[in-house]
Structure 1
Amino acid sequence: MRIPSTQALRALESFARHGSVWRAAEELHLTRSAVSHQLRLLERDLGFELLERVGKGVALTARGRRYAHDVHKALTMLGDAGMQYREGGIGGSFRICCTPGFASLWLCTHIAAFQEMYPDVSLSILTPRRLDDVSIPEVDAFIAFGDGNWPNHSVELLCDVRFTPLCSPSLLNRIGGISKPADVLRTNLLHLNDFEDWARWLALTKVENADPATGIIFSDMNLVFSAAIAGQGIAMGDELTGQKALSEGRLVRPFDMAIRASRSYYLVVDLTKKDHPVLPPFRDWLRSSLADEAADAQGVRERL
């Protein structure tokens, strides 16, 4: 089989990340029809369908998602190779400010891979006072949790967050199990910053006479999960930062029902720092690592 064109592969990778043709076209500086044409040519060259009609739009097939995941890794590897073999390589200091929960539960368990790829980069990881704070002047890049509105900054969505109840197995045993959504009210509700996420989940599941404004409020997700793992209540948590605790059995997910959080994780860079030489490889590594994690989680869900 002949190797598909790089432009077609880039069109697929961009479509897979953004989920829409028009956003892929915007990123690649092409027309929507040009992106659609590249995807059709790629299907022809591969001999299998990448896209399927969903309502009025299109989405990747299961096989298309797996192929796009591999393409993403391959393109990232090629880009990283180019960076590494440039004369002089990539070096210098790079300061990252990251929300405490994301830092301790995800970034700190993955960052050595970036350091191995760019050993001449001197990394520093800080945490902000607020989850959406991007005001520390000495920081080169922020991983912030917010609504995406940071004027005078470059803002890139890293991943949406879907919250669902998570708790420890010991808590389930202590309260006699959870069989219906209303059962969560038999223990403490653990909140991140406010009562909004639990209020939306209780409304989605139609729990009657529920008062979400009870329980304990924490300032970051690391504290929420620590309390949940210790059996202090049931958390409204997300699969990304909770993945390690879930895979190790320290947390369990009693329900499949989840809500999309009103806030998301973003890579935020002050416009005066947008030309920092370490930023492009860090951004690419971050995208690739998060995509790998999402693909792995999707594969587990499909096998269940």
Structure 2
Amino acid sequence: MLDHVKHPKVRTRLPPLNALRAFDATARHLTVVKAADELSVTPSAVSHQLRILEDALGVQLFTRNKTRLKLTPHGEALLPSIRAAFQMIAVAAANLNDSAMRGDLVVSAPIGLTSRLITRHIGEFLLAHPDVNFKLITSNDDKEVYLLSVDVCIRYGTGIWPNRQVKLLSHVELFPVCSPAMTNAAGGLHELNDLKRHVLLCEDDGTEWTRWLLATGANSDGFRMAEMGNAHSAIESALHGQGAALGDSLLVGDDLLKGDLVRLFNTAITAKHAYYIVCRPEICDSPLVAGFVDWLRTRVGIATYNLSVNSSS
């Protein structure tokens, strides 16, 4: 990164494409490590490309805020144009393969991702590809991974599925969320101990909540937990004022942006697992599968960016 801001220079040459890709990925994730994961390169390679771009433009694009990066005003100004340019390239490439973007596409994904991201935005993909017959299966069961009738599986897990191509979709962070009504109620929610007056809604046996409490320096004594079966149910219950849930950073972005949920405290922990794209090696590069995966990555990137904006505002 540059230690200071240089005056912009007038130039006629375009910046290197790899540097622009590194900037786009880093701006969405706000960490070099996650950007490197997406681009399948090392973090040092991403940092090198960012320095090349900053040197080429003569401005600083990021500053470091504790463990995360933050876009500078120059970076904020550049991002929309870069994102629009990449979108135009993607659309142009898709148009070349319009004849291949037709037929049946069967996707299997966990209920949280289907309910809180895919079903809210799938119209974008279907509108762009009217000849695709789309079917969504709500599941995180590994049986669909090995069914020939399923084209793409999005799975939350360890990333190990033998005999299948596995690509990282997104790591996630966990942090408490609740309805605004809970924070506005008598007594409010200002300190950690205030959570003892409310139910902690869990998707599991409370392991992740216990990890989060330990990260704050507390333990689980005095906190009441209730198992809700999955992350979607826990978040939905929190949205309706039934308690506080651990928000998955990929699932609560829309609700935070709209103000239906609010984030509690600044502490976040990295989830033990991540989201992966899993499919049969022989079809993963087909235009239909690749087109859907590209759309999903773009939508996940937007969700991540919106969350970062919400967190910094």
| TM superposition score category, shorter chain reference | 0.7 to 0.9
Aligned pairs for 1:41-56 (under 5 A) are 41-50=52-61
TM-score normalised by L of structure 1? 0.82
| Aligned counterparts of 1:48 and 1:42: Cα–Cα separation in 2 | 9
Identify the residue that residue 121 of structure 1 maps to in structure 2: 132
Match of 1:144, SS state, is: strand
| Aligned counterparts of 1:100 and 1:234: Cα–Cα separation in 2 | 19
Identify the residue that residue 246 of structure 1 maps to in structure 2: 256
Q: CA deviation at 1:205?
A: 1.4
| Aligned counterparts of 2:142 and 2:206: Cα–Cα separation in 1 | 16
Identify the residue that residue 32 of structure 2 maps to in structure 1: 19
Identify the residue that residue 234 of structure 1 maps to in structure 2: 244
| Aligned counterparts of 1:141 and 1:97: Cα–Cα separation in 2 | 6
CA contact (8 A) 1:84 1:118 kept: no
Alignment partner for residue 90 of structure 1, among 101, 107, 110? Answer: 101
Match of 1:97, SS state, is: strand
CA contact (8 A) 1:97 1:141 kept: yes
Q: CA deviation at 1:190?
A: 0.7
Q: CA deviation at 1:25?
A: 11
Aligned residue type for 1:156: K
Matched, 1:261 2:274: no
Q: CA deviation at 1:110?
A: 0.9
Aligned residue type for 2:32: G
Alignment partner for residue 217 of structure 1, among 227, 234, 237? Answer: 227
Q: CA deviation at 1:267?
A: 1.5
| Aligned counterparts of 2:88 and 2:129: Cα–Cα separation in 1 | 13
| Aligned counterparts of 1:41 and 1:59: Cα–Cα separation in 2 | 17
Q: CA deviation at 1:126?
A: 0.7
Matched, 1:201 2:201: no
Matched, 1:152 2:146: no
Q: CA deviation at 1:22?
A: 10
Match of 2:279, SS state, is: strand
Aligned residue type for 2:289: L
Instruction: Report the number of matched residues.
Output: 299
> In the TM superposition, what whole-angstrom CA distance separates every residue of 1:237-294 from its partner, at most 9, and x where no partner exists?
1243123333343322231211111112221212243233212211221122222222
Alignment partner for residue 181 of structure 2, among 138, 157, 170? Answer: 170
| Aligned counterparts of 1:120 and 1:277: Cα–Cα separation in 2 | 13
Alignment partner for residue 290 of structure 1, among 275, 300, 306? Answer: 300
Judge which range, 149-158 or 95-104, deviates more.
Answer: 149-158
Q: CA deviation at 1:111?
A: 0.8
CA contact (8 A) 2:151 2:279 kept: yes
Q: CA deviation at 1:174?
A: 5.4
| Aligned counterparts of 1:69 and 1:272: Cα–Cα separation in 2 | 35
Change (3 A) 1:177 1:150: same
Matched, 1:185 2:181: no
Identify the residue that residue 283 of structure 2 maps to in structure 1: 273
Give the superposed CA RMSD: 3.5
| Aligned counterparts of 1:9 and 1:243: Cα–Cα separation in 2 | 25
Change (3 A) 1:7 1:231: closer
Identify the residue that residue 113 of structure 2 maps to in structure 1: 102
| Aligned counterparts of 2:65 and 2:257: Cα–Cα separation in 1 | 32
Aligned pairs for 1:25-36 (under 5 A) are 27=40
| Aligned counterparts of 1:236 and 1:21: Cα–Cα separation in 2 | 21
How many percent of aligned residue pairs carry the same amino acid? 30
Match of 1:219, SS state, is: coil
Judge which range, 233-242 or 169-178, deviates more.
Answer: 169-178
Change (3 A) 1:269 1:60: farther
Runs of at least 5 residues in structure 1 that lack an aligned partner in the other structure: none
